[in-house]
Structure 1
Amino acid sequence: MTASPQSRPVIRAVSSNDVGAAIGRLLAIALPPTRAAETGASAKIGDFLLAWWNGPDCGHFPILHLCNVDAIIAEDMLTIYADAWGYRDAMGELWERYRTPA
């Protein structure tokens, strides 16, 4: 017996508000208030956001990471446009956290 298909489309139309909310949620996971508050998904989301924002300088995002985060986070990752909605400073902070040598 095979599983029935999902009831919602994998790719769906999203509004500008949906996109802004998604990037806000992703940044909150990637940039928690302290390093100690990071989760296993924090660095994966940071890699995703940085690659989407500026792949040539920030490196690539292993697509397999979409399978290594929960479905809600993966959907947000597929929804966003990184350099919009007033998050430029947060993207710079991501660069400092995940790309600057220790």
Structure 2
Amino acid sequence: MTSIPTDYDSARAALTRLIPIAMSDTGQARRVANFLMAWWNGPDLGHFEIADLFGVDIGVANDITSVIGFLGRNDRGAVYIDSLGFAEEMQDIIARWRNPVGQGPE
């Protein structure tokens, strides 16, 4: 059985790999962006379908799992991506994927 690290440093490292994917133009990009936006603000930006893990490479799925594990282990309440130092990157992802219809990827 493979163990996926869920500590703070591992979650941050996973995010440094996930964010460039979310900003790219691949099938995985949409899935990763949906995961990050659901974490940021699911009610307004949409939710992450668990089955989307089937549509990403194993390394990407492991990175998402690392972040989810970190969030689940945290005993200090809600943790959002901006508190981990990625607020600007998150704004870029939202701008890329949630533009008004006809002005960018959906």
For the criterion TM > 0.5, the same-fold answer is yes
Partners of 1:86 and 1:22 in 2: CA distance = 13
What residue ranges of structure 1 are gaps of 5+ in the alignment? Answer: 1-6, 33-37
Shift of 1:13: 4.8
What residue ranges of structure 2 are gaps of 5+ in the alignment? Answer: 72-79
Match of 1:8 among 2, 5, 11: 2
**DSSP 3-state at the match of 1:57:** helix
Change (3 A) 1:29 1:13: closer
Report which of the two has the higher share of helix: 2
Contact 2:45 2:98 in 1 (8 A): yes
Q: Percent identity?
A: 35
- Per the normalisation by structure 2, the TM-score is 0.75
Partners of 1:61 and 1:15 in 2: CA distance = 22
Match of 1:18 among 2, 6, 10: 10
Q: Indicate yes or no: 2:60 matched with 1:73.
A: yes
Q: Count residues in correspondence.
A: 89
Larger radius of gyration: 1
Map residues 1-102 of structure 1 onto 2, 5 A cutoff. Answer: 7-9=1-3, 12-32=4-24, 38-80=25-67, 82-83=80-81, 84-101=83-100, 102=103
Amino acid at match of 2:66: T
Partners of 1:74 and 1:13 in 2: CA distance = 13
